[in-house]
Structure 1
Amino acid sequence: MSNREATDTIIGYFYQFDHSISKLLELNRIDDYITIEGIEDIDIKTIDENTAIQCKYYAKTEYNHSVIAKPIRLMLEHYKEVKNGRKTSVNYYLYGHYKSGQDKLILPLTKNFLKEKFLTYKKDKITYYHHNELNLLDKDLDDFITKLTLDINALNYDAHLENILKMLEVQFNCSRFEAEHFYYNNALKVIKEIATKNDVTERVISKKDFLNEIDKRQLLFDEWFVRFKGKKKLLSNLRKEYFTNLNTSPFERFFLIEIDKTNYLRSELKELIFFISKKWSNISKREPIPFCPYIYVHNISESALIELKKDLQRENFKFVDGFNFQGASFSKRSICITANYENQIKIKIVNKIEYLDLIIDETSKTKEIYQFYRQKPYFNLDNASIKHVSIQYENLNDLKEII
């Protein structure tokens, strides 16, 4: 498969995911639900009706009747099962976007057009009449047509996504960045996980459960969202949203960084500490309110942390960690000492996660917490007055592109 074909395939998947997201957001009642990959790509269940939706995206392909003929025949097979009392009645909806050729489809649909263009086909030089094989009469086809909606003028990918982001902004009363990077990102993950369930009963989700699942103000580094944005663009957006300031305010900033303790390089971690210190410290004589950041490394062993501190000390990089002498207890006052030109403190290392709450309570300055995690957040803060950003990441070096 060429790169172009692969890209087209991925966009097709996104379009189907997006259609599921939009249909969930459009549901009128909180307890209405959809089934992903049920009878069709999406099944919608409300108090009023059941609808089975087939969704296709062919942005570079001309519309031809053959493209939608097979899905329509499958819908007709389901209709026959309903007629025989073996399935529940539904409405059928075929939704698609095509480059051109939409004028070939004459609407409203007639039974003769249905027979000729969609139900009659050839295989191995033999002509088949699908309605005859199903023993359906003209009156059955007329009834089927009343339950069938064809829309081959669907929105293109960008316009479809724009509608979703607008709905998310309204639903969560949030900014465009939050709608895209938090809620849409989470929505993609939820829909993707549901779509891969083997049991159809596990591919059902209500609007209420969907909204609860995606209502997380933390950024996932989900593989599908990374494909959607592109890794470089995603990292750039994060830096622009959270870490680009013309004038860095003298806040108390906490950088919480989870490492893979079995697969990380101390040299990379040390470089990241230097990078954070250089960007988020100011202890010059001219700074009226000098400051430096706190760093907590999650999952690092006690011995590895000691070796990291030894490296910093050997390189004459001044830090404090709240311990004033060997055998001393942790002192929140000691670690909260103001960094300045005289003491040359460039970083404050938090040894244990339990110390974070103590330090946060001790300092009276404006505080910002940036938590970087690998699988799930590990620090919770129930304080609406403190900015707390949680971001999933892949590689330590990626953080230098964000921070």
Structure 2
Amino acid sequence: MRNRSAVDTIRGYFYQFDLSILSILQLGALEDSVEIECIEDIDIRTATEVTATQCKYYAKTEYNHSVIKDAVKHMVSHFKESLLGTKPEVSYSIKGHYASGQEKLDGGVDVNFLKKHFLTYSKGKSSSKITHYHHTDLGLSDADLGEFLKRLTIDVRAKEFDEQYREILDAIQKNVGATQFSAEYFYYNNALAVIRELSIQSAPADRTITKKEFLARINTSTVLFNEWFIEKKGKKAHLAALRKEYFTELNISPYERFFLVEVNPSCYVRSDLKDIFFQLAKKWAKLSEREPSPFCPYIYVHGVSSDELIALKTELILEDFKIIDGHDFQGADFSYRSIVRKATHGNEIKIKVLNTLLNIEQTVSAISTTRRIYQFYISNSYFDYDDPAVRHVKIQVENLSDIQSII
């Protein structure tokens, strides 16, 4: 069982990432921007001001002033430098979610409260502790601290983890007009990847993104196998959701379905790939005598050699698993007319094998009925078909077993 403290730490990271995503989505103008971990966790830049925001997520902890003391001291130090002109003038924000204790700030924060609870601290052993006054060390007057408080906002009743997550999905739907599924599995999944990438950049300029750029970068038609998204959802739940969205149909329509499967050479086992063939034929072929419009799926395997593909086909034929691949005799060129011929109960064609990416394009283009392409890839997408009439789903996976779980 995973250590509880580790789980809490991970949720804390997600909470900060989620707040970054939500902050971008809630920007008023497309040219407004967010900077990740610059002055604070999140710096929000609009046309008129910059707000440095630090967030805390302690769902099982009571709020105490000491929890945010260091954050306040750091902000006061930055404020001092802004008075000297060595740092930019900004606003400051602290957001936190706690199990209890929020009422300790219900009376508000004035200058005396600020000095007593946030800027006064002790150092040393119990017998020789020395009290320090951070504002005094910085040479700040009460008037200076009053000005600082005008720039400071503290919210110790920030949204709970799941509530904030739901707010993100709602904001995505409002910004891009997405469905609930695409908001989570396309846009939010991609958003996590973008925020993660920004957060590890060394230069502040490379950790900055406008709302316009952010919306463009998360708007892809690919389901990423993003390790952070998988950590949050759980791999089993992730695969199950993809199966429910794309591969659960009560009455399977006689569409022309193309399954593009990538093999990881480092862990390839022929029997695993054969199982994919069997599974596709079992679920996505209808060849009974009573079927008015019989059909079977197409498959393309990416990442195996021609010799291995021939060996696989040979095994399938020897096991009376009938396939065709668009080559009518030895040495014949590929013919889309050959491979698009109808599978029936009589000819027992269970699956149609496409040997090259060009064969896929030729075949898809030759068909005028409903077509769907399901591409499973490991690292990078390897096939694009730009036709709005063709549904093309791209799903990143780790291995063949993931594909089996999805289809």
**TM-score of Structure 1 vs Structure 2, range by shorter chain:** over 0.9
Q: Partners of 1:107 and 1:193 in 2: how far apart?
A: 40
Once the two structures are overlaid, the 10-residue window that deviates more, 98-107 or 113-122, is: 98-107
* Partner AA of 1:300 in structure 2: V
Q: C-alpha deviations, 1:74-106, integer Å up to 9, x for none?
A: 000000111111011000000111110001114
Q: C-alpha deviations, 1:323-379, integer Å up to 9, x for none?
A: 000111111010001000111000000000001121112222211110111112111
- Partner residue in 1 for 2:327: 323
Pick from 146, 150, 153 the counterpart of residue 149 of structure 1: 153
Instruction: Tell me if structure 1 keeps the 8 A contact 2:377–2:394.
Output: yes
- Partner residue in 1 for 2:55: 55
Q: C-alpha deviations, 1:262-309, integer Å up to 9, x for none?
A: 431111011111111111011111111110000001122111111111
Q: Where in structure 2 are the equivalents of 1:272-283 lying within 5 Å? A: 272-283=276-287
Once the two structures are overlaid, the 10-residue window that deviates more, 251-260 or 61-70, is: 251-260
Q: Partners of 1:365 and 1:319 in 2: how far apart?
A: 22
Shift of residue 237, structure 1, vs aligned partner: 0.6
* Partner AA of 2:225 in structure 1: F
- Partner residue in 2 for 1:230: 234
Change (3 A) 1:376 1:107: farther
Change (3 A) 1:2 1:122: farther
- Partner residue in 2 for 1:66: 66
Change (3 A) 1:2 1:303: closer
Q: Partners of 2:10 and 2:264 in 1: how far apart?
A: 30
Superposition misfits of 4+ residues, deviation over 3 angstroms: none
Q: Where in structure 2 are the equivalents of 1:248-263 lying within 5 Å? A: 248-263=252-267
Shift of residue 261, structure 1, vs aligned partner: 2.8
- Partner residue in 1 for 2:39: 39
- Partner residue in 1 for 2:218: 214
* Partner AA of 1:204 in structure 2: T
SS of aligned partner of 1:349: strand
1:306 correspondence with 2:310: yes
Shift of residue 171, structure 1, vs aligned partner: 1.3
Q: Structure 1 unaligned runs (5+)?
A: none
- Note the aligned Cα RMSD (angstroms): 1.1
* Partner AA of 1:5 in structure 2: S
- Partner residue in 1 for 2:390: 386
Instruction: Tell me if structure 1 keeps the 8 A contact 2:123–2:130.
Output: yes
SS of aligned partner of 2:38: coil
- Partner residue in 1 for 2:103: 103
Once the two structures are overlaid, the 10-residue window that deviates more, 102-111 or 238-247, is: 102-111
* Partner AA of 2:315 in structure 1: D
Q: Partners of 1:2 and 1:75 in 2: how far apart?
A: 35
- Partner residue in 1 for 2:80: 80
Shift of residue 2, structure 1, vs aligned partner: 5.8
* Partner AA of 1:69 in structure 2: K
TM-score (norm 2): 0.97
Q: Structure 2 unaligned runs (5+)?
A: none
Q: Partners of 1:299 and 1:243 in 2: how far apart?
A: 24
* Partner AA of 2:331 in structure 1: G
Q: Partners of 1:190 and 1:350 in 2: how far apart?
A: 35
SS of aligned partner of 2:113: helix
SS of aligned partner of 1:250: coil
Q: Where in structure 2 are the equivalents of 1:279-290 lying within 5 Å? A: 279-290=283-294
Identity %: 51
Q: Partners of 1:300 and 1:353 in 2: how far apart?
A: 13
